[in-house]
């Protein structure tokens, strides 16, 4: 569990990058739900936290690939591979991300 920021410091419609390896992006969707995915687009190295958030989708700022924040699946080309999703919780007003284990590693 990694503390990210205070909930009040992450307005709806905004995102924040967590500088861990690999980096994670936490999004506060306009419906109030928090999502976390790997921050790097699977098409090319671009930070998804710098992309455009619309509903449950984030559009990569480099080539307009789009990912569903709920599943990590790409919704259009040029991305073909999904990004990992991570669980987000809020405890005492602090947003925490629970980083999922990488494929092939123990949880």
Q: Hey, what are 65's tokens?
A: 């690939």
Q: Which tokens hold the place of 42?
A: 């699977």
pLDDT tens digit string along 44-95? 999 999 999 999 999 999 999 999 999 999 999 999 999 999 999 999 999 9
Rounded to two decimals, the pTM is 0.92
Q: What stretches of the chain show up as alpha helix (H) in DSSP? A: none
pLDDT band per the 50, 70, 90 thresholds, residue 100: confident
φ, ψ of residue 21 to 5 degrees: the values are -115, 115
List of residues 6+ apart from 13 with CB closer than 8 A: 28, 29, 30, 53
């Amino acid at each position: 569990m990694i503390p990210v920021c205070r909930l009040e410091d992450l307005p709806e419609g905004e995102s924040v990058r967590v500088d861990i390896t690999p980096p994670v992006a936490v999004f506060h969707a306009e419906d109030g739900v928090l999502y976390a995915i790997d921050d790097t687009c699977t098409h090319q190295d671009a930070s998804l936290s710098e992309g455009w958030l619309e509903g449950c989708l984030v559009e990569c700022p480099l080539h307009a690939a789009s990912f569903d924040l709920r599943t990590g699946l790409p919704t259009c080309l040029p991305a073909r591979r999904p990004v990992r999703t991570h669980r987000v919780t809020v405890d005492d007003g602090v947003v925490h991300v629970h980083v999922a284990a990488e494929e092939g590693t123990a949880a």
